[in-house]
Amino acid sequence: MITYTINFTSGTKPTFTIAPGEFDGPAHLYQVPPQPDKAHTSLNLYGQGTLRYGEKVDEDLVALLENFANTTAPLLPTSGQLWFDTAHNTLKVYANDLQWNAFPFVEPTVPKSGDIHVSGAIVFMYANGAWRQIFPAVYS
């Protein structure tokens, strides 16, 4: 069996591996003793051949559909992750400044990578020195 190497899209976080039959995710933080070295994202990710993974994968997909809807923010967020804060009925995005920022955003005077700007029904993210449309998706 193969060990999976997981790469973050941005390349700013280190890769991590998931051994066959194992998983990586926030559930490891609740084990006794906690195993933070096996928890890198808000989702539980499964290695090749992990038994009984189907229900947990389905729960991860529902969490994504709901944008992690809850009164508390998801553990181990990564830049660009969305969270629907049910305590305030507010959609938030985790930005490069390592905090949750509520929508709608106002375009900052000096944008930084990861900033979000909403104009009507179009959502832009500042990346690599320019505002890029992220919703609706633009294909080139």
pLDDT value of residue 6? 95
* Residues with pLDDT less than 50, the chain: none
10 Å CB burial of residue 116 (0-12, 13-18, 19+) is buried
Upper half-sphere CA count for residue 32 (Cβ side, 13 Å): 0
pLDDT for position 75: 93
8 Å CB contact between 78 and 26: no
Per-residue pLDDT, 116: 81
The predicted pLDDT at position 133 comes to 86
Identify the helix (H) or strand (E) that includes residue 17: strand 16-18
